[in-house]
Amino acid sequence: MKSLAITAALILFFTISACTTTTVDEYRENSTSLVLASGERVVVLGRRHYADYETEPDFIDCIGDKLNADKEISVLPEREFVDLLYPWFEPRTAPLGLKRLAKMLDEPIIAQRFKEQGLHYMIWIDGSTETTDRGGSVSCAIGPGGGGCFGFTTWEKTSTYEAIIWDLQKLSESGRVKVEARGSSYMIAVILPIPIVAQVQNQACDGIGLQLRTFFIGHRSSEES
């Protein structure tokens, strides 16, 4: 009974400890909400041109889901957009700035494809989640009489992402959101390994997704969520 209480207390302690700190900064061109007319859509894209990292596709999907949570903001899935515009949004060809995008949209077949899809805003997400620190060790052994693990390990993850909103009609930047989330995860092993994982990337997605929603439907949505 006593050992059960100690185990429960340990789990509770580590669950509380495995929390994430999230910082969100935003910059807006002006205080008015971004308008999406009926049938207009937003596309969220990840930057993939860097040599050492690329923005995770599941993170892009997560932001799309956050924006589209109450069906007020229609989001065109990234994969579908990239295929529809192939080969203009591959890592080699994707526009890094608005000037290049404007030149791309001078091309009637590309502009027509944007129009057909009802695209009004493009949101670029740049960043990644990395393991920034690691310590401790867990060793496991197995023998004829059974097996088990013993030890303690901890690792820290940092998610850093920046979202930039482009207005495709005005060909201007509408705003930026930057999020940094840090969290430490633990694994304690006494016969059985018990991982207590900080959901760093999910917190970053929540932070950036909800903040991006406020650009479109004001602060109401984030308060409701």
Partner 1 sequence: MNLCHLMRLNFVRASLVLTGLALSACATHVDVKGNFPPALTHQLPLNTVVVFNPDFASHRFESTEGPEVSISVGQIQVELFTGLAASLFEQSSSTRTMPSDTEADLILIPSVEDVQISMPNESQLKVFEVWIKYNLQVFNSHSEPIADWIMTAYGKTPTRFLKSDTEALHQASMVALRDAGAHFITGFARVPEIQQWLRNHRPIVTASKGSADL
User: Where on the chain is the footprint of partner 1 (CB under 8 A)?
Assistant: 51-54, 56-57, 83-88, 90-93, 103-104, 107-110, 113
The DSSP secondary structure of 120-140, one letter per residue, reads EEEEEEEEEEEEEEEEEEEEE
Q: Which residue number, 115 or 219, has a Cβ lying nearer to partner 1? A: 115
- CA–chain centroid gap for 140, Å, is 34
Q: Which residue number, 59 or 216, has a Cβ lying nearer to partner 1? A: 59
Q: Which residue number, 110 or 138, has a Cβ lying nearer to partner 1? A: 110
Q: Which residue number, 29 or 156, has a Cβ lying nearer to partner 1? A: 156
Q: CB of residue 35 vs partner 1: minimum separation in angstroms?
A: 28
Strands (E), the chain: 20-28, 41-46, 75-76, 119-143, 146-167, 172-196
**Bridge partners of 86?**
none
Whether residue 62 contacts residue 204, with contact meaning beta carbons closer than 8 Å, is answered with no
Q: CB of residue 107 vs partner 1: minimum separation in angstroms?
A: 5
C-alpha distance from residue 219 to each of 32, 163, 215 (Å) = 11, 18, 8
Q: CB of residue 184 vs partner 1: minimum separation in angstroms?
A: 18
Q: Which residue number, 87 or 143, has a Cβ lying nearer to partner 1? A: 87
| Amino acid type, 76 | L
| Amino acid type, 212 | L
- Residue 62 makes CB contacts below 8 A (sequence gap 6+) with 201, 202, 205, 209
Q: CB of residue 102 vs partner 1: minimum separation in angstroms?
A: 11
Q: CB of residue 54 vs partner 1: minimum separation in angstroms?
A: 6
Helix axes 200-217, 57-67, angle to 10 degrees: 40
Residue with tokens 């990840």: 46
Q: CB of residue 90 vs partner 1: minimum separation in angstroms?
A: 4
Q: Which residue number, 105 or 138, has a Cβ lying nearer to partner 1? A: 105
